[in-house]
Structure 1
Amino acid sequence: MRSAYLVAARRTAVAPRGGAFKAVEVDELGAAPIRAVLADTGITPETIDDVIFGNALYGGGNPARLAALRAGLPDHIPALTIDSQCCSGLDAILLAAERIASGGADAIIAGGVESFSRAPLRARRPRHADDVPQPYDRPPFAPWPERDPDMIAAAATLAERFGISRERQDEFAIGSHRKALQNPPGAPELVPLAHLSHDAFPRVLTRATCARLAPLAGEAAFGVTRATVAVEADAAAALLVVSETMARRLKARRPLRIMSAWRRGGDPAMPGTAPVAPAVRLLAAERIAPARIAVAEVMEAFAAQAIACVDGIGVPESSLNRGGGGLARGHPIGASGAILAVRLWHEMQSEPTGALGLAAIAAAGGLGSVLIAAV
């Protein structure tokens, strides 16, 4: 099997729902980082074999194709949209890497795009002529209602089961915002769009502010609050995934080699811990001690979920989300996994050759995806 490499990684800023990107359609969001990775590498658009994007909210169609055409890629280049909810963006990269490794492609643009602001309203068709459409906020993630909890309630249950106190969740969220403010992403990572060139949500978050917030779910000791839940957001991210031959042809500077990756299902009723098992298995298979991970990008949809994953995988605090995480940025569902990979690529550029990085994300329905890469 051939190796797959990440040779360019760009993203838009992350804007909370109804913010700077409230009027930006999903194809415009997705096109911006596609254009940027093409420009960064100098690869000719005709050389691209495919475009694979994750998306969760668009409501059908093929937004990857729309974004590819909007970005100016030739008509003959195909595009594929996948939906594995929060895992979608990272899964798109994993799928691209598998195609590269199999010899089926040499250059694929992979990533994710999501717009809460422009997502269509959803309703179920009436079953009978005298019924009316039934609006709904989200589809089912498991066929059994008792194993398909609301995600906020699931996070509160996870916090209580693993003994993750409200105070620990608050401190984790405060730290995420602090790191985002102290180590903001630079121009090489972000693509300006709609007059926004920085993540809009990070702020000075204090213990006093956190203490004033009423729980959204859960008992007081382990409750989940607005500070420990990532806000709904709009964003897009794209990476260029190539073969070793293509990386050499492009004279790629410090590419990341994808060492291993894995997707795995877990308990739909406890989705937050789904990345732990695949991460532990991959590290063991590669004979990598968690302490050797120099950069770890772990999704922060909820503070409790992120803490459970970090504890379960064992990555060191010094390597974790060094520029803040989803609690500080926001959670554009289909793009979040790709944003982790973009952050990983840029953080790894300052690491010595041979350094190891990890990206991990959980999704509704009990899904977990993990990637391990070396610079």
Structure 2
Amino acid sequence: MVGSLANMPSSGHSYIISAKRTALGRVGGLHRSRRIEALVAPVVAAVLEDSGLEAAAVDEVILGNTMQGGNPARLIGLAAGLPETASAITVDRQCASGLDAIVAGCRAIETGEAEVVIAGGAESISTAPWRIAKPKSLYQTPHFIGLEAASEETGEDAQLFEASEVLSQRLNISRDQQDQWALRSHLKANAAQDKRTFVGEIVPLRGNAEEARDQSAGVDPSLDELTALPPFLPPTGTLTPGNTSAMHDGAAIVAIVSEAVWQKLGKPPALRFVASVSQGVVHGNEAGAPMEAMKKLYGRLEGFNSKDIGLVELNENSAAQAIAFSSSLGLEDDLVNPDGGAIVRGNPLAAAGAVLVVRLFTRMVRQRDDKKPNLGIAALGAIGGIGVAALFEAI
């Protein structure tokens, strides 16, 4: 038995051959009435059509999700018309869940467990069930739970802007620097929208213009307007609604195939999975988790440095985090989020990491620039003080 398991086939490399997402919508906004399967199934169908894969070829659905409960990956697979024989699993590492799902799909293929995997992340905060902590006594008022607890002592986790505030104070990142970063993120996103960069990436669920762009994008704030916004933590706080990201609904899905399937399809342009890491950090450094993950990734790859990277997609929980990330790793501003980031489009929690991979696919595959290095990184932090980073190569 042991010998037969040891001889299980390995698929070699894994390839992302299609990557799409919904427009991101404010909570209670664009996707307010869509259950998670209605939000995601059309994106799965679009990815299958774009890749030329038959639904019957799918071996596994792997979905990142934090708010729904149960196994929404199975519901989505069935709603998308995948065969009942296709297995499904939902993973939860908070904001990193979607990236984790994609990495898990790549590894399943590389170990020979699957040939075709549909993976990504989705969050329908607008329709997610409410969760209530069980009262300790009959007379205690029930407590509604927003996100999963990440602290053993308190049962709660520091808000993202509190963690970023600690980071900004420690690294002396000024309010002006953060507002300037946020302004540049808006300018980049608006320029990308004008160039129709997101066409082919976003699946309009109703086929209208409103659903073809992120709901919070298109704003054109001035620096004065950003400066006028009050901080979350007065009087000395530097983080505001203008230089941080807000929670949004949305989904992002990719199709991953084995080397054999990729060759049968004619070797279409793709992202090849190279490596990924995750890294926990000590309490008080939660906002620094993406940097620590990147340093770990660099250490795993002999001779690798920032000059080898053509693109970095970072989930902008806050401008403070993005500034610290870029400066600590010596990354040029135009290398990180060239089409804007989550400060503009919003943070769809479990879908956030999958959105980053879709962005890599758009920039490095759909709109490939042969003058730039063909390596791209998706990186983000997750509630609880965990950083995740994944490296892909455009083929």
TM-score band by shorter chain is over 0.9
* Coordinate RMSD, CA, aligned: 1.8
Larger mean Cα displacement after TM superposition, 351-360 or 188-197: 351-360
Correspondence for 2:63? 53
Report the count of equivalent residues. 373
Q: How far did 1:252 drift? A: 4.1
How many angstroms apart in 1 are the aligned matches of 2:359 and 2:265? 21
Correspondence for 1:249? 264
Distance 1:374 1:228, change over 3 A: same
How many angstroms apart in 2 are the aligned matches of 1:66 and 1:314? 43
Q: How far did 1:262 drift? A: 1.1
Contact map agreement 2:378 2:390 (CA 8 A) in 1: yes
Which runs of no fewer than 5 residues in structure 2 stay unpaired? 1-9
% identity of equivalent residues: 33
Contact map agreement 2:148 2:156 (CA 8 A) in 1: no
How many angstroms apart in 1 are the aligned matches of 2:346 and 2:189? 12
Q: 1:230 aligns with which of 237, 245, 251?
A: 245
Q: 1:7 aligns with which of 2, 17, 22?
A: 17
> Quick check: 1:33 aligned with 2:43?
yes
Contact map agreement 1:235 1:335 (CA 8 A) in 2: yes
SS in 1 for 2:221: coil
Distance 1:281 1:126, change over 3 A: closer
Correspondence for 1:341? 357
How many angstroms apart in 2 are the aligned matches of 1:44 and 1:5? 17
Correspondence for 2:31? 21
Distance 1:274 1:218, change over 3 A: farther
Q: Deviating runs (4+, > 4 A) in structure 1?
A: none
Alignment of 1:72-87 (within 5 A): 72-87=81-96
Q: How far did 1:154 drift? A: 1.3
Contact map agreement 1:147 1:268 (CA 8 A) in 2: no
Q: How far did 1:152 drift? A: 1.7
Correspondence for 1:109? 118
> Quick check: 1:65 aligned with 2:74?
yes
Correspondence for 2:393? 374
Contact map agreement 1:291 1:314 (CA 8 A) in 2: no
Q: 1:324 aligns with which of 324, 340, 347?
A: 340
Which runs of no fewer than 5 residues in structure 1 stay unpaired? none
Correspondence for 2:4? none
Larger mean Cα displacement after TM superposition, 72-81 or 243-252: 243-252
Equivalent residue letter for 2:345: R
SS in 2 for 1:98: helix
Q: How far did 1:219 drift? A: 5.1
Alignment of 1:153-302 (within 5 A): 153-184=162-193, 185-194=197-206, 195=208, 196-202=211-217, 203-217=219-233, 220=236, 223-286=238-301, 287-302=303-318
Larger mean Cα displacement after TM superposition, 165-174 or 98-107: 98-107
Give TM-score, length-normalised by structure 2.
Answer: 0.90
How many angstroms apart in 2 are the aligned matches of 1:285 and 1:157? 29
Give TM-score, length-normalised by structure 1.
Answer: 0.95
Q: Deviations over 1:40-83 (max 9, x none)?
A: 1111111111000101111x111111111111111111111111
Distance 1:236 1:199, change over 3 A: same
How many angstroms apart in 1 are the aligned matches of 2:256 and 2:326? 27
SS in 1 for 2:40: helix
